Amino acid sequence: MLKFNKKLLFSGMCLFALFLILQSCDDEIFTTNPSDSITFSKDTLTFDTVFSTIGSTTGKFLVYNPNNKAIHISSVKLAGGASSQFRLNVDGAVNTDNSFSDIDISAHDSMYVFVEVTVNPTDVNSPVLVADSVLFTVNGNLRTVRLEAFGQDVVLFKNKYLINNTTLLANKPYLIYGYLAVDTAKTLTIPAGCKLYFHNNANLIVYGNLRVEGTFEKPVEMRGDRFDNMDFSTPVPYNYVAGQWGGIYLLGSGGNHLLQNVIINSGYVGVYFSNDNRNELPYLHIINSKIQNFVYYGIVVQNGNLLVENSEISNTGSCTVYLSGGKHVFIQSTIANFYNSNLYEPSSRDKNPAMVIMGLYRMAPMETEIKNCIVAGTLKNELSIVSRFLPGYKGTFSSSFIRRDSIYTYSQFENITWHQTDNAELFVHPKYDAEGNYYFNFMPDSLSSARGIADPDIASQYPLDLNGNSRLEDGTPDAGAYEWQGK
């Protein structure tokens, strides 16, 4: 029987402990070789447009130690020091001087540097470049990461209520927090080229009249205020993501509204046009406009008269267009819902069709005209008419493409292309490409079923499509807001 040697065991344990101590000490050995340095995840950290006096979102980059030994960073600081418009957070530490010292990174480890920026007002209408650099001193050498932001002066509205007729200016954008509201019988006029950026949950609420007077060359933009990207493997602008702000609410019975050459996108609701008085109907005219990418609805009409011409309403989590009460006319327009084709949306599309025409007894009498239009999407039935059984309902649908697996057969439908299969080759690109370069191109594909089916007499009233291309050149105009182009 072998005897247990306690001395031998003790010696072995001591040797093992010594090995661990030496190994631990080796881990803390720092390189002082001037050729050993740090690397960065990016050499320039760029912020998109930052509004003056409004803090930016937080940008970040990684600092790597690629060496086999730990490395000592003598200092990290902003070249602009305490007066810089940028602010640093280095590995969780902050200070007012934007200066840090004696930072260690273990071998093959890394740390984060977070950066924020607030741009001072410049009294200049166009964006101004604001720049600085983060300076790292390592083993006697200087390493830098450049910081860039484009500062834009804005007119800031916080819970602004307009009690007089008001015309905005186009020289600077407007940033809305809370709401911008228009009093009863007063008119808000938004001129060509004006840009309105809405903060989270902010709304435009109109009890009077809204006149948006954009042009093809200078459209009016209404969108969220975030210019940064979501953190995906392929950066996706927040402006492509629904739910960035509230929406436009046109309320009251006396309104006369115009939306001309306006781009409205990526909120919760596009245009909510609602009135409780079934005996006095307000009017809304939408022409040459895009209303796209909303969590709930693109256009909701309740007791109001609506005319939509040469426009796109697209991509919503529920009904893209909901009509109830009043006369509603759509001419040469595209209603398309491919919302759940977008991986970047906050929710999936529900089962409501792209266009719902809902007659209710408490609403005003209804009349519908759809001419030279496209009604399409990812569902088998993208048109639902619940109003047809109500007394007095009038509906005329002509020279249009409608996706529906069961065909409406009563007399209101003339020269309709009913599409009962999928949307193959209907549009050029109904979703993003691999690089995220397309924002849902709803121009007809070369083999599209919407090509050549429009009424030429109606199309001649809109000789240019929403992209400014001729829809009369080939003699066979297409349905929808866009004409196919052979290039």
In this prediction, residue 405 has a pLDDT band, given cuts at 50, 70 and 90, of confident
For residue 6, pLDDT beyond 80:
no
Topology, domain 39-151: Immunoglobulin-like (2.60.40)
pLDDT at 16: 57
- Name the DSSP letter for residue 470: B
431 versus 462: which is more confidently predicted? Answer: 462
What would the mean pLDDT of 432-458 be, rounded to a whole number? 80
Q: Strand 269-274 vs strand 297-302: parallel, antiparallel, or unpaired?
A: parallel
DSSP for 297-318? EEEEEES-EEEEES-EEEEESS
Question: CA 115, CA 145: separation in Å to the nearest integer?
Answer: 11
- Averaged confidence pLDDT in the chain: 88
Choose the weakest-confidence range: 190-199, 332-341, 359-368, 387-396. Answer: 387-396
54 versus 410: which is more confidently predicted? Answer: 54
How many CB atoms neighbour CB 428 within 10 A? 17
pLDDT at 470: 96
335 versus 487: which is more confidently predicted? Answer: 335
The closest of 156, 211, 153, 155 to 182, measured between CA atoms, is 211
CA distances in angstroms from 348 to 62, 289, 296, 351, 403, listed in the order given: 34, 25, 10, 10, 20
What would the mean pLDDT of 182-191 be, rounded to a whole number? 97
Half-sphere exposure of 141 (CA within 13 A, CB side): 12
In this prediction, residue 116 has a pLDDT band, given cuts at 50, 70 and 90, of very high
CA distances in angstroms from 370 to 183, 258, 452, 459, 470, listed in the order given: 33, 20, 17, 13, 21
Residue with tokens 């260690």: 104
In this prediction, residue 2 has a pLDDT band, given cuts at 50, 70 and 90, of very low
- Among positive and negative, which fits the CA dihedral 405, 410, 411, 412? negative
pLDDT at 17: 57
How many CB atoms neighbour CB 456 within 10 A? 14
For residue 148, pLDDT beyond 80:
yes
Half-sphere exposure of 415 (CA within 13 A, CB side): 14
446-487: per-residue pLDDT in tens? 889 999 999 999 999 999 999 999 999 989 999 999 999 876
What would the mean pLDDT of 269-289 be, rounded to a whole number? 96
pLDDT at 1: 44
285-314: per-residue pLDDT in tens? 999 999 999 999 999 999 999 999 999 999
- Name the DSSP letter for residue 464: B
Q: Is 118 helix (H, G, I), strand (E, B) or coil?
A: coil
What is the Cα 320 distance to its own chain's centre? 16
Q: Biggest alpha carbon distance in the chain?
A: 111
What would the mean pLDDT of 251-274 be, rounded to a whole number? 96
What percentage of the chain has pLDDT greater than the value 90? 69
Question: CA 154, CA 227: separation in Å to the nearest integer?
Answer: 14
Choose the weakest-confidence range: 104-113, 231-240, 430-439. Answer: 430-439
| Beta bridge partner(s), residue 101 | 75
Which range scores top for mean pLDDT: 46-60, 115-129, 314-328? Answer: 314-328
Q: Say what the pTM is.
A: 0.83
pLDDT at 341: 54
For residue 10, pLDDT beyond 80:
no
Beta strands in 14-55 (DSSP E): 39-40, 44-51
What percentage of the chain has pLDDT greater than the value 70? 87
How many CB atoms neighbour CB 267 within 10 A? 26
287 versus 406: which is more confidently predicted? Answer: 287
For residue 24, pLDDT beyond 70:
no
Helix H or strand E segment including 9:
helix 6-27
What backbone phi and psi angles, to 5 degrees, belong to 205? -120, 120
130 versus 328: which is more confidently predicted? Answer: 328
Question: CA 289, CA 286: separation in Å to the nearest integer?
Answer: 7
DSSP for 421-443? S--TTTEEESS--TTS--S-EEE
In this prediction, residue 423 has a pLDDT band, given cuts at 50, 70 and 90, of low
For residue 263, pLDDT beyond 90:
yes
Domain residue ranges of the chain, discontinuous segments joined by +:
39-151, 154-459
202-247: per-residue pLDDT in tens? 999 999 999 999 999 999 999 999 887 776 555 677 888 899 999 9
What would the mean pLDDT of 86-102 be, rounded to a whole number? 93
